[in-house]
Amino acid sequence: MNKPAVSISLSSYGAELVRQRGQGSFIEVLAAAGADRIEWREELLTREDPAQIADSTRNQGLQSIYSSPTELWLAGHAQPNPELINALQHAEEFGSKWLKVSLGYFTDNNDLQALGQRLKQSPVQLLVENDQTLHGGRIEPFQRFFNAVEQHNLPIKMTFDIGNWQWQDQSAASAARLLGRHVGYVHCKAVARRADGKLVAVPPAATDLHLWEQLLRHMAQGVMRAAEYPLQGEDLVALTTEHVAVLARLGQSRLETVHV
């Protein structure tokens, strides 16, 4: 039985630690923990050398995803965000096969043909994520966007962030049912509300893992998934190993049932 590819978003280790140590220092941690992929975070970059990081990642047998806070569509603009070109280039420099961005302000006036032309110039696959904003964190704009993507036959998949739907009071279950066939990457994130009312990402409880199992039923078998919740402790390799194993098992019971 093939193990689904598991990635770790480096934001999981905490912004302060990641900036202090540099993102390249986590390559060996993830390799030792049995992860398949590593998600670089553009907003946490400090002194990293992209070529060196790309080499080190390959040498450890890992692939990578480059995460950029770039919004694909800007308000009032029909053309794709000009920053997309830079983000695709950075992803390529880091040796990443995928680039993750946010949707931004998608409307029916956006130029999908122009987007397609830009994507043809890069070997990197685009992944578009639901974020925590009003314009980029609701189901309906994603339905319209992926309908347009299908009409134009563009090589774009969705990053489905399980936890982010809660910021706009959207149902993750409804989102999975309506958008699951477009998903190429899943950000696994449990969410809790602090005493001050703020929503924060937390490690999953058993109830979260059960929910995630149900959501994955609407997506391709073995879809790539990542931890994007706090992974903080004394032994990062042991902690990461544990969570890689947990995420790899998600959705596998369905496969086992099929093979009975």
**pLDDT tens-digit map of 107-157:** 999 999 999 999 999 999 999 999 999 999 999 999 999 999 999 999 999
Residue with tokens 């070109």: 85
| Domain count within the chain | 1
Q: Please indicate, yes or no, if residue 81 is contained in any of the structural domains.
A: yes
Per-residue pLDDT of the chain (260 residues; tens, 9 = 90+): 578 999 999 999 999 999 999 999 999 999 999 999 999 999 999 999 999 999 999 999 999 999 999 999 999 999 999 999 999 999 999 999 999 999 999 999 999 999 999 999 999 999 999 999 999 999 999 999 999 999 999 999 999 999 999 999 999 999 999 999 999 999 999 999 999 999 999 999 999 999 999 999 999 999 999 999 999 999 999 999 999 999 999 987 654 443 33
Q: Please indicate, yes or no, if residue 1 is contained in any of the structural domains.
A: no
Q: Please indicate, yes or no, if residue 150 is contained in any of the structural domains.
A: yes
Q: Please indicate, yes or no, if residue 230 is contained in any of the structural domains.
A: yes
The answer to pTM > 0.85 is yes
Structural domain including 229 reads 6-259
Q: Please indicate, yes or no, if residue 246 is contained in any of the structural domains.
A: yes
The CATH number that applies at residue 120 is: 3.20.20.150
